[in-house]
Amino acid sequence: MKIVSTERPATKEKRQYHIACAPGEVAPCVLLPGDPERVPKIARLWDEAKKVAYHREYQTYTGKAGGVPISATSTGIGCPSLAIAVEELAAVGANTFIRVGSSGSIQRDVKVGDVVISNAAVRLEGTSKQYVRVEYPAAANYEVLLALIQAAEKLGHRYHVGITASTDSFYLGQGRPGLGGYTQSFAKDVMQDLQAARVMNFEMETASLFTIAGVYGFRAGSVCAIFANRVTGEFGVGEGEMASAEIATEAVKILAKMDNEKQKSKKRHWVPSV
């Protein structure tokens, strides 16, 4: 891969440095799981799919679901690698992003196997702070949020809508002890403080996704499966994984209908009366 720019690293054909995708290879709507192995699992839900690229932690499939173009790109763990994916996917034509992740509940009634649809996120990570000041909100796009809720209702999956907290640390950042029981006072209090503020879950990417999308004017949403409940101590790896993937895929179809209705009505924003 011969890179022609150090400012926005890509080839002459605009194949991106990290994700190894070029214009025409990625759909406008992209699902963003963290785990590369989750991408082909998601793609099996579609009518058609093909592997486009796999470089570093970024594996990409593109295809169609219900006749609607769709892609999925893995982002690895954490906000820095997600930000790279969003930057480069947008550079080759994507404009709508849905995180399809795993997370841990911090509320008793948000159970293992449920999914959380985030309407906003607490910015406990560092990546978003390199884009805009800390007071800037990390909020979901309302069209994507509505599409995810409608999809969950249609498919009959148990879901919750609320605020997510995104951290840079799986251990102390989420109130767990570090190696040998190492901790700090802020780590001891973080989960209790967020529970009191009705935050639903911990994960490691949504806040940066929402912030970056807001800054650039993209649409973004997030649906995460609950693998663990920190209140009850339950841990069920993989629980709800395919439910979140099904919801995100259905949401892309719903967004396509919304977009068609907006176009026909010559409206900029979708409302139920369109």
Going from N- to C-terminal start, the domains of the chain cover 29-265
Give the residue from 73, 2, 274 showing the smallest Cα distance to 10: 2
Residue 47 has a pLDDT of 98
Residue 207 has a pLDDT of 98
Paired sense of beta strands 29-32 and 68-73, if any: parallel
Q: Return d(Cα 27, Cα 96) in angstroms, integer.
A: 9
Residue 66 has a pLDDT of 97
| Cβ pair 148, 258 in contact under 8 A | no
Residue 99 has a pLDDT of 98
Give the residue from 237, 220, 234, 52 showing the smallest Cα distance to 142: 220
This prediction has a pTM of: 0.97
- Catalytically active residues are 18, 88, 176, 230
Q: Return d(Cα 85, Cα 200) in angstroms, integer.
A: 26
- Indicate the CATH number of 29-265 among 3.40.50.1580, 3.60.110.10, 3.40.50.261, 3.10.520.10: 3.40.50.1580
- Residue whose structure tokens are 């069209």: 143
Q: What is the mean pLDDT of each run of 10 residues along the chain (274 residues)?
A: 92 97 98 98 98 98 98 98 98 98 98 98 98 98 98 98 98 98 96 98 98 98 98 94 98 98 95 91
Residue 1 has a pLDDT of 82
H/E stretch holding 203: strand 201-203
List the beta bridge partners of residue 120.
139, 163
